[in-house]
Structure 1
Amino acid sequence: MEKPWKALELLISTIIVLILLTIAYLVIRPTTQNVSVLPTIEPLPTFGIPPEVRARIDTVADTSNARYLCPEFTDVGPIQLATCVDCIYYAVDKLHALSPTYVPPLVTTKLPGGGRMRPEVDVALTALFAAAQRQGLYPTVTSAYRSFSEQSFTFQAWVATEKRNQITEAQAIARAARYSARAGHSEHQLGTAVDINCSGCVAFDTNDPRNIALWAFFEKNAQDYGFVVSYPRGIEALTGYQYEPWHLRYIGADMAKQLYNMGYITGNGICLANFLRVEQQQ
């Protein structure tokens, strides 16, 4: 009579394990929606900094803003790990990383799309969304805070998606790294970065006129609410990331307006990471 009970116990144990694995997946799964939908990959730069960008950089180089210019991108060098307790203004990039244990103060937003972010970011983003809605634009959060482990999962998911194109692991990593950060190197871990698209639009769809209109609104107005576009058009050779109009980072209205007034959004070589480093040294 014991064998049926043992079989039942084994079945129950198996079900419990499957439930726990499902819960674990839901906890660490990437918060980016439509992970199977690749962002549009622009052609890789064939030679350093494009001439039109170089011309804009040369113009800035003759001004007092020259110290904010980004050096040409390289991912070769030692990784510097952040030591800040509150890293809200930390200049995260491919050579400057956050600790795996860094977690900012977070709240769950009630904005469309949901997600977690710092409290001050939620307040500012709510105001920015309201401003967009007054213009007939309806944004939704695609992705907000991601933990170190969530970012690791997200990056590997993009690599796996790229490998469907029958390319090597190294090629898939190189392609994914143009639009997704490795764990520790993502602004999303700060709790101050959000990816946004229009309500009802496919995430990262650069051909949808509704997305285009929304992102254009952000490029012109986000600074008034404390946000900047982390990776403007034309400066991938400086940041290592292609143009991402959907990716906003909160740095506060004063610094956001300062950066905007320097013309960073035109791709003049002034990039967010170097701007933050310079500002924190003053």
Structure 2
Amino acid sequence: MKKILYSIITIMLVMSVMVCGTNTTAYAATKSISVKTNKSTLYILDSANNKAKLTVTYNGKNVTKAAKYKSSNSKIAKVNKNGVVTAVRPGTVKITTKYKGKSRTTKVTIKKAKLSLNKKTIELSRGQKFTLKAFANKSGISNKNIKWTSSNSNIVSVNKNGVLTTKKNGTTTISCKTTIGKMSAKVVVKNTSASATTQENSGHTHHWVTVEDTETIPAITKHQVQCMNCGQWFDSKDDLYWHFINADGACGNYCYGAERDVVITPAKTIITGTHEECDICHARR
């Protein structure tokens, strides 16, 4: 009888150890999800800072393209299937990322950018043109996101691209309206002569000629870093990092080489208008 009892107790102890061991193994196999963002604060209309990129890893593997995303309020910020968050209006949202039953939330704050114009006070001659430009922080705002108006189009008119055309002497206000606010510039038209004439002044006879106003738009470049192992170029160190993470063999070591600036759009000079100038003393009128 005692032998039977001992056998039953032994079997129960073995089963208990097996169950505990199984639970421990299942716990150790639990996988986790990690979500990182390159920007936690975005600015409306600022093309350099109005988007954020989420990077998702699952058990050490990049699964950004396979994950699912949802914004808590798409009227404040929206997110696409690639994990790119775009600012819409001021506020705070939570972006929920899901992958294989796991989820994480990322807080993103949306703010208004600082609105400015390339010039606040402008003096022009009749018939002269000038182009107004608006900026969100330091980024130029596309004219499709701006409404330009003149307080008196009989003096100065403005088109949808911010180009001013003077018509007669006087003062007017050009207004710029965007989703981040309004701003205006004062325009003064002083002269009425539109052709080359002469005038006695400062000891010599002025000879007025029409001269073009120009503006140089700087080149647009992007900075790149190179993988020292395979020579491939990447637009950021983050992209290069994931190249190392996902690469096999020699490229699996994080080691970048040269850096360079690549020209996307070359610098160019554009004509913004004209003015009258003396070709002797270079006085303007």
User: After TM superposition, is the score higher than 0.5?
Assistant: no
Q: Could you say which TM-score interval applies, normalised by the shorter chain?
A: under 0.3
Larger RCO: Structure 1 or Structure 2 (Cα < 8 Å, ≥ 6 residues apart)?
1
Q: Looking at secondary structure, tell me which structure has more helix per residue.
A: 1
Q: Looking at secondary structure, tell me which structure has more strand per residue.
A: 2
- Whose radius of gyration is greater, 1 or 2? 2
